[in-house]
């Protein structure tokens, strides 16, 4: 498995190209913007884009998705369907976040908890982790021990819950149930900031370690 991280937008959102080293097929997870940078990376590594996967509907995670879908004729897969309103409200999000105007668009396929998605010979398990947003999902790859978490958890922090339909108790519950139960050396690939691990966050993250109430 090959992972290429491309920070996009003014929010430095970690867009990830995930590729099967054997087949050279790739997906891009959360192409929030700067689609040209993503295309350049695909070309540089001679990868074939097979789909676009989304963790949630915030503009800094999805802003480049429709452009790439049209350019490569691939499907947008995920998140879970409770996220619909964030796609419907993309024009409002553009104003709210100070992005250039965007028209609403929608995924081709909504995902559910325990669904499996594949790229080349790699399979990822989908886990529904609401709280930051209601339809937020994460993608877990067991063999390579990594989980792509969007804005659920960050190194030393957790996702905001002050947006519409955010819920802080639900977020902590999602993290404790679906992220911190993974093996300690599982790598956490977050939507912003550095990568971390399940074990490190269990020990040190003040929002979930219990050390700070």
- Residue range at the interface with Zn ion (CB under 5 A); choices 86-94, 117-125, 150-158, 168-176: 150-158
How far apart are CB 69 and Zn ion at their closest, in Å? Answer: 20
DSSP letter string over 102-163?
------SB---TT-EEEETTEEEEEEE--SSSTT-EEEEETTTTEEEEETSEETTEE----S
Residue 9 CA to residue 148 CA, distance in Å, equals: 19
Q: Which is nearer to Zn ion, 16 or 58 (CB)?
A: 58
Q: Tell which one of 8, 47, 54, 58 touches Zn ion (CB under 5 A).
A: 58
Instruction: Choose which of 149, 151, 196, 207 interacts with Zn ion (CB under 5 A).
Output: 151
- 136 belongs to the binding site for Zn ion (CB under 5 A): no
Piece in contact with Zn ion (CB under 5 A), picked from 6-14, 50-58, 91-99, 137-145: 50-58
Which one, 35 or 135, has the nearer CB to Zn ion? 135
Region binding Zn ion by CB under 5 A among candidate stretches 38-46, 70-78, 143-151, 175-183: 143-151
Whose CA is closest to 36, among 15, 51, 57? 15
Stretch that binds Zn ion, among 34-42, 67-75, 145-153, 176-184 (CB under 5 A): 145-153
CB 140 within 8 A of CB 125: yes
Nearer to Zn ion, 59 or 182 (CB): 59
Contact of 191 with 62, CB cutoff 8 Å:
no
The residue (of 39 and 129) whose beta carbon lies closer to Zn ion is: 129
Kindly state the smallest distance separating residue 131's Cβ from Zn ion, in Å.
11
168-172, long-range: CB < 8 A, 24+ apart: 168/131, 169/131, 170/130, 170/131, 171/129, 171/130, 171/131, 171/132, 172/131, 172/207, 172/208
Contact 19, 50 (CB under 8 A): no
Q: Considering the complex, state which of residue 120 and residue 159 has its C-beta at the smaller distance from Zn ion.
A: 159
* Smallest distance from Zn ion to CB 123, Å: 25
Q: Give me 102's structure tokens.
A: 């965007």
Task: Determine contact, residues 162/154, Cβ cutoff 8 Å.
Answer: no
Q: Which is nearer to Zn ion, 165 or 187 (CB)?
A: 165
**Positions in the binding site for Zn ion (CB under 5 A):** 58, 151
């Amino acid at each position: 498995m090959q992972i290429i991280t491309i920070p996009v937008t003014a929010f430095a959102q970690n867009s990830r190209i995930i590729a099967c080293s054997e087949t050279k097929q790739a997906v891009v997870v959360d192409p929030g913007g700067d689609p040209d940078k993503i295309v350049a990376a695909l070309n540089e590594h001679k990868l074939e884009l097979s789909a676009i996967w989304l963790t949630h509907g915030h503009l800094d995670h999805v802003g480049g998705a429709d452009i790439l879908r049209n350019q490569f004729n691939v499907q947008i897969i995920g998140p879970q369907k409770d996220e619909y309103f964030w796609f419907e409200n993309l024009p409002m999000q553009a104003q709210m976040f100070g992005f250039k105007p965007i028209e609403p668009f929608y995924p081709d396929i909504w995902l559910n908890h325990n669904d499996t998605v594949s790229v080349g010979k790699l399979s990822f398990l989908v886990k529904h982790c609401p709280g930051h947003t209601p339809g937020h999902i994460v993608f877990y790859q067991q063999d390579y021990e990594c989980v792509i978490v969007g804005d659920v958890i960050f190194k030393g922090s957790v996702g905001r819950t002050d947006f519409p339909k955010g819920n802080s108790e639900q977020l902590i519950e999602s993290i404790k149930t679906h992220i911190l139960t993974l093996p300690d050396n599982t790598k956490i690939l977050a939507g912003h900031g550095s990568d971390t691990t399940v074990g490190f966050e269990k020990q040190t993250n003040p929002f979930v370690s219990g050390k700070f109430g």
